Amino acid sequence: MDSVSETIGKHDMLCGRETVLVALSGGPDSVCLLSVLNKLKQELSLTLHAVYVDHNLRPEEVPGEIAFCRDLCIGMGINFIVRSIDVKSSVAESGMNKQEAARELRYRAFDEACFEVNADRIALAHNADDQVETVVMRLLRGSGTKGLAGIPAVRKNIIRPLIETERFAIEKYLASEGLTFVTDSSNLKTDYFRNRIRRSLMPLLRDINPSVCRTITHTTSVLQEEERYFGIIVTKTLMKLISRKKPDRIELFISPLESMEKVILRRLLRRAVDETRGIRGIGFDHIEDIIKLIRKGVSGDRIYLPKGVRVIREYSLLVLTAETPVRINRYEISPPCDVLIREAGVVIRATFEDRPACIPDGTDAVVLDCGAMQFPLLIRPREEGDFFYPLGFGRRKKLQDFFVDAKVPRDERDRVPVICSGNEIVWIAGYRADERFRVAEKTEKTLKLVILKGGF
């Protein structure tokens, strides 16, 4: 198939003498890809291997597909490998939808098989129709220009030789070569978004423009070239902005972001997200929300995105994180003492004092009547059903409602020390004391509690 050779040359997919691992499902596209590469094997001095990935979702069909693929490879003299992945377990553990989990595990299986046979390239059978369907799906979901650039012809060691070949040409080639293939029943279901696009929308688009596939493919090529250019700019800019990065957290200096042009800022935020393993599920609307936080937010503001992702505006940093929020452990207070709460980065200092002339306001320090307290006091995180009597409020209040009114961020609430005497809350450290332990006229001995933040 000449068009495939042209695509390989145009995108520098293969130079010759490579070992290529072909993803083979037994469907028409992958059968066509394997056949074409097998024909080019001698010309380019290629070594071919094929891998079938069993998703463990269609136990009735998979054995037949594996047998078909194995026979096909035997007929061509190509080494055949089978890899098994557990999509259902991954969905349950990760919270991803089935398609996302399948894709992640499938590509991991490709990488493992690639390492096993020491392959230089992994060849996937995405075609021009797949490209168009992907672009339409992303357009309907509100993707930016990077998403509308579609599926790249080459990405790292992955190549897609059929990416500019339409499905009708693939079917014509298979018929001319007398090649058969298998049909994945999941491709016939209309509950998948892609299948609905393929079966319902694409025929309408072809009625409007018979060349829609070629037209959109040309547009994606232009967008890909532009994205490569912007990618260079973004890479250079991001390198200067990263303060600190971990697998599920990235911190960026915020000052340059505030005046950055949106066309670069969107791309930079997307790249920052892509640089972390843990931050997933962020779409175009979420990027816009982050930009609004950068330009209109103040230190301490934050937004909550899907799958536990938080974006926090700090004094000089923008923090994107999917880290599990900190929950403090339980500690005892036997005054006089200093208690280090390492998880929260604070120290609670407790001392007995005579009745002072000036009573602190109850945020960073409190002075309380310790006559009715049970020692040792307990430091713990919040618990379901907690309530107390906020000093100056006059009546009982749920701790959850207090946190909401005090605008304590959701992901910070489990790290707030709750000081208790027996089952009664004495002080929400850093926020408010309990009215029941306030210093009165008859108070003789007091307990001073201070929260010291940072530097420990």
Tens digits of residue pLDDT in 216-228: 999 999 999 998 9
3-state class of 101 per DSSP? helix
Class assignment of domain 247-321? alpha beta
What was the pLDDT predicted at 360? 74
For the stretch 128-170, pLDDT in tens is: 999 999 999 989 887 778 889 999 999 999 999 999 999 999 9
Residue 106, CB-side half-sphere exposure with 13 Å CA sphere: 18
For the stretch 271-306, pLDDT in tens is: 898 888 777 777 778 999 999 999 999 998 999 988
Cβ 161 vs Cβ 13: under 8 Å: yes
For the stretch 341-391, pLDDT in tens is: 999 999 999 999 887 767 776 789 999 999 889 999 999 999 999 999 999
DSSP string, 395-431: S-EEHHHHHHHTT--GGGGGGS-EEEETTEEEEETTT
Cβ 72 vs Cβ 34: under 8 Å: yes
Confidence of residue 189 (pLDDT cuts 50, 70, 90): low
Whether the per-residue pLDDT at 456 is higher than 70: the answer is: no
Question: In what helix (H) or strand (E) does residue 397 lie, and over which residues does it extend?
Answer: strand 397-398
Whether the per-residue pLDDT at 51 is higher than 90: the answer is: yes
What was the pLDDT predicted at 26? 96
Confidence of residue 178 (pLDDT cuts 50, 70, 90): very high
Please state, in angstroms and rounded to a whole number, the distance separating the CA atoms of residues 107 and 114. Answer: 10
What was the pLDDT predicted at 355? 75
What was the pLDDT predicted at 190? 65
For the stretch 250-273, pLDDT in tens is: 999 999 999 999 999 999 998 898
Question: Which stretches of 36-184 are assigned E, i.e. beta strand?
Answer: 47-54, 79-84, 121-123, 154-155, 158-159
Lowest-confidence pick of 45-49, 92-96, 377-381, 424-428? 92-96
Cβ 291 vs Cβ 269: under 8 Å: yes
**CB-count burial class (<10 Å; 0-12, 13-18, 19+) for 454:** exposed
Whether the per-residue pLDDT at 455 is higher than 60: the answer is: no
Please state, in angstroms and rounded to a whole number, the distance separating the CA atoms of residues 75 and 311. Answer: 55
Average pLDDT, whole number, for the chain? 92
What was the pLDDT predicted at 302? 93
Whether the per-residue pLDDT at 66 is higher than 60: the answer is: yes
Whether the per-residue pLDDT at 193 is higher than 90: the answer is: no
CATH code assigned to 331-453: 3.50.40.10
- Residue indicated by tokens 């992901």: 411
What was the pLDDT predicted at 70? 98
Whether the per-residue pLDDT at 201 is higher than 80: the answer is: yes
Here the tokens at position 329 are 């452990």
Residue count of the chain, please give it. Answer: 456
Conformation bin of residue 45: beta by default, left when phi > 0, alpha when psi is -120 to 50? left
- From the CB of residue 415, how many other CB atoms can be counted at a distance below 10 Å? 18
What was the pLDDT predicted at 188? 63
CATH topology of domain 2-221: Rossmann fold (3.40.50)
Q: According to DSSP H, which parts of 118-261 are helical?
A: 128-141, 145-148, 167-177, 193-196, 202-208, 212-241, 255-258
Cβ within 8 Å of residue 415, ≥6 positions away:
325, 326, 327, 328, 343, 344, 381
For the chain, what are the domain ranges? 2-221, 247-321, 331-453
3-state class of 384 per DSSP? coil
Please state, in angstroms and rounded to a whole number, the distance separating the CA atoms of residues 320 and 275. Answer: 11
Cβ 346 vs Cβ 418: under 8 Å: no
